[in-house]
């Protein structure tokens, strides 16, 4: 029986490997997701067949309850809300690992002959990583959902607290191994929960995609360490593969912002106070425009680049933008979408939103491909993006976003910025592009503004 169960887990691990591989390629991604879910189903069935399980009632109720809640969340979420949902799921995964770690540890210390140092150490790590993943993800969720503003925690004290509590938590993890007792365990959990909050709270809004990717990696690691505690191969294999894939995405995001992970986690962006005062930059220099004027310019444009940001998603403007694209193409213009790697609030967020609006995949251009073309672009239309087109990143070494690769929209002949106001982006700094001579500001709701342009274009 036992070896049959082990073989079942092996089959499930193979399904996860094939699933992840397929998930990373556009043609096979759907199949990859299905393979992954098949692997999960198999693992659950195999576990339920295990003789060690004595009570099935709680399990059935728990599985049903979780499945109902998960389905409701997955079916009801808007694509704009994807980052929040992934953060929330991450947090649930982390907390689940934490609870498993706690239950296993409590069981182990009742049988002193069974607890080895390695198992106890694995339990300690599970508690630590699970707790940090849980509260860290909840804080990220709160920022994304705009329950609270991330930049209000830019205090150096909280970073010091984060480091101190992490060190303390590692110390408690050692205590959990050397003198096993429930007291050390609860202390470790409490401190690690606080450390998760303190680690994520001060991270600036512009860095959220990095944090989401990193927490994704952590939730995988927590599952892997749970596997060490239980001596379960499929947990170790699946968990560490997710950990690795999350780390790769973290690395891609860091590269896109020209920052190191350490820098994202521990350096305070706003403390430098760079970026200049908004009044100095904007007063008397901002040119406000109208939909009719923008339509006239677009009517003669040969090449147009559209730069979408999270604001486009909030305004639900992606369908109006697609109509604008088609109208311009009918006039013979060449239209591309320039996508910054960290546009939106999680890796690849813009691509999902534009796919929802049925924008052809070929029209979406990555930053490296589109940047050399901006000086031959007649009009760049920026919809709800801010920090990713802020030329301060190139020009002002004191700016908090200095050195971050940006889309060089400012180099195109005319720049049209559709935005509700001159308010700051996620990085919390003014954008000199809005005051540039070749920039026209079209103030208003993204969707309404683009629809006005479409109407004006049709009348020309």
Cβ at position 125, least distance to other proteins in Å: 11
199 within 8 A of 132, measured Cβ to Cβ: yes
Nearer to other proteins, 29 or 296 (CB): 29
Q: What is the side-by-side strand order in the sheet with 303-308? A: 364-366, 334-339, 303-308, 379-383, 414-419, 439-443
3-state secondary structure (DSSP) of residue 443? strand
Kindly give the pairing relationship between strand 414-419 and strand 439-443.
Answer: parallel
445 part of the active site = no
Which of 144, 177, 206, 223 touches other proteins (CB under 8 A)?
Answer: 223
* Range 364-400 burial, b when 16+ CB lie within 10 A, else e: bbebeebbebbeebbbbbbbbbbbbbbbbbbebeebb
- Give Cα separations from 401 to 74, 268, 348, 387, 419 (angstroms): 34, 11, 20, 8, 21
E-assigned strands of 74-229?
Answer: none
3-state secondary structure (DSSP) of residue 404? coil
Nearer to other proteins, 135 or 414 (CB): 135
Which of 261, 355, 402, 448 touches other proteins (CB under 8 A)?
Answer: 355
Which of 123, 173, 199, 229 touches other proteins (CB under 8 A)?
Answer: 229
Cβ at position 229, least distance to other proteins in Å: 7
User: Taking CB under 8 A as the criterion, which residues in 378-397 touch other proteins?
Assistant: none
User: Taking CB under 8 A as the criterion, which residues in 356-375 touch other proteins?
Assistant: 356, 358-361, 364, 366
Question: Is position 235 an interface residue for other proteins (rule: CB under 8 A)?
Answer: yes
Q: Which stretch binds other proteins (CB under 8 A): 32-40, 166-174, 183-191, 269-277?
A: 32-40
105 within 8 A of 120, measured Cβ to Cβ: yes
- Give Cα separations from 297 to 122, 304, 321, 335 (angstroms): 64, 11, 17, 14
* CA atoms of 172 and 186, how far apart (whole Å): 10
Listed residue (2, 219, 183, 194) closest to 105, CA to CA: 183
User: Taking CB under 8 A as the criterion, which residues in 68-97 touch other proteins?
Assistant: 69-71, 73-75, 77, 79, 82, 85-86, 89-90, 92-93, 95-97
Nearer to other proteins, 255 or 455 (CB): 255
User: Taking CB under 8 A as the criterion, which residues in 258-317 touch other proteins?
Assistant: none
Nearer to other proteins, 28 or 290 (CB): 28
Please name the residue ranges forming H helices in 283-417.
291-299, 310-314, 318-330, 349-356, 367-370, 392-395
- For 24, list phi and psi in degrees, rounded to 5: -90, 5
Nearer to other proteins, 122 or 281 (CB): 122
Which of 208, 219, 318, 380 touches other proteins (CB under 8 A)?
Answer: 219
End-to-end CA distance of the chain: 77
Q: Which two tokens stand for residue 263?
A: 């820098």
Cβ at position 267, least distance to other proteins in Å: 25
Cβ at position 314, least distance to other proteins in Å: 17
Catalytic residue, from 277, 292, 334, 387: name it.
387
User: Taking CB under 8 A as the criterion, which residues in 109-128 touch other proteins?
Assistant: 110, 116, 118
Cβ at position 66, least distance to other proteins in Å: 2
Question: Is position 7 an interface residue for other proteins (rule: CB under 8 A)?
Answer: no
Question: Is position 323 an interface residue for other proteins (rule: CB under 8 A)?
Answer: no
Nearer to other proteins, 21 or 285 (CB): 21
Q: Element (H or E) spanning 379, and its range?
A: strand 379-383
Alpha-carbon torsion 187, 193, 196, 201, what sign?
negative
Tell which phi-psi region holds residue 388, choosing left (phi > 0), alpha (psi between -120 and 50) or beta.
alpha
Cβ at position 257, least distance to other proteins in Å: 14
Cβ at position 13, least distance to other proteins in Å: 8
* CA atoms of 331 and 18, how far apart (whole Å): 46
Which of 84, 135, 165, 232 touches other proteins (CB under 8 A)?
Answer: 232
User: Taking CB under 8 A as the criterion, which residues in 239-268 touch other proteins?
Assistant: 239-249, 252
Name, in order, each residue with C-beta under 8 angstroms of 95's C-beta and a sequence gap of 6 or more. 130, 133, 134
Question: Is position 23 an interface residue for other proteins (rule: CB under 8 A)?
Answer: yes
Question: Is position 32 an interface residue for other proteins (rule: CB under 8 A)?
Answer: yes
Listed residue (66, 116, 60, 105) closest to 89, CA to CA: 66
Q: Which stretch binds other proteins (CB under 8 A): 147-155, 290-298, 338-346, 426-434?
A: 338-346
Nearer to other proteins, 301 or 346 (CB): 346
Cβ at position 31, least distance to other proteins in Å: 10
Question: Is position 24 an interface residue for other proteins (rule: CB under 8 A)?
Answer: yes
Q: Which stretch binds other proteins (CB under 8 A): 227-235, 288-296, 419-427, 431-439?
A: 227-235
The set of catalytic residues is 387
């Amino acid at each position: 029986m036992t070896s049959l169960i082990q073989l079942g887990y092996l089959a499930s691990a193979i399904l996860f490997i094939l699933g992840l591989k397929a998930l990373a390629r556009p043609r096979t991604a759907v199949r990859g997701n299905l393979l992954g879910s098949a692997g999960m189903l198999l693992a659950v069935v195999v576990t339920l067949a295990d003789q060690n399980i004595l009570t099935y009632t709680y399990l059935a109720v728990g599985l049903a309850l979780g499945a109902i809640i998960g389905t409701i969340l997955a079916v009801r979420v808007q694509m704009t809300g994807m980052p929040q949902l992934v953060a929330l799921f991450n947090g649930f995964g982390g907390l689940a690992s934490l609870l498993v770690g706690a239950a296993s540890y409590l069981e182990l210390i009742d049988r002193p002959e069974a607890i080895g140092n390695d198992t106890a150490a694995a339990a300690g790590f599970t508690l630590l990583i699970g707790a940090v993943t849980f509260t860290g993800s909840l804080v990220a969720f709160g920022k994304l959902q705009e329950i609270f503003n991330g930049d209000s925690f830019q205090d150096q004290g909280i970073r010091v607290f984060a480091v101190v509590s992490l060190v303390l938590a590692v110390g408690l993890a050692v205590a959990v191994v050397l003198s096993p007792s429930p007291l050390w365990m609860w202390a470790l959990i409490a401190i690690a929960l606080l450390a998760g909050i303190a680690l994520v709270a001060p991270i600036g809004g512009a860095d959220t995609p990095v944090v989401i990717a990193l927490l994704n990696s952590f939730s995988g690691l927590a599952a892997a360490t749970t596997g060490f505690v239980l001596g379960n191969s499929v947990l170790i294999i699946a968990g560490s593969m997710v950990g690795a894939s999350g780390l790769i995405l973290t690395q891609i995001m860091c590269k896109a912002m020209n920052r190191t992970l350490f820098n994202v986690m521990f350096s305070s962006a706003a403390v430098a106070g760079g970026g200049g005062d908004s009044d100095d930059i904007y007063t008397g220099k901002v040119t406000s425009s109208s939909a009719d004027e923008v339509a006239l310019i677009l009517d003669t444009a040969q090449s147009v680049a559209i730069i979408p940001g999270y604001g486009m998603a909030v305004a639900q403007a992606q369908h109006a933008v697609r109509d604008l694209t088609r109208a311009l193409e009918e006039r013979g213009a060449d239209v591309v979408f320039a996508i910054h790697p960290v546009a939106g609030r999680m890796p690849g967020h813009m691509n999902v939103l534009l796919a929802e609006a049925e924008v052809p995949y070929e029209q979406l251009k990555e930053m490296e491909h589109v940047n050399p073309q901006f000086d031959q672009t007649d009009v760049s239309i920026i919809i709800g993006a801010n920090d990713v087109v802020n030329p301060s990143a190139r020009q002002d070494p004191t700016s908090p976003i200095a050195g971050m690769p940006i889309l060089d929209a400012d180099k195109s002949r005319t720049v049209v910025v559709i935005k509700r106001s001159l308010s700051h982006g996620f990085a919390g700094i003014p954008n000199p592009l809005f005051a540039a001579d070749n920039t026209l500001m079209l103030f208003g709701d993204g969707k309404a503004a683009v629809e006005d342009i479409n109407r004006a274009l049709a009348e020309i």
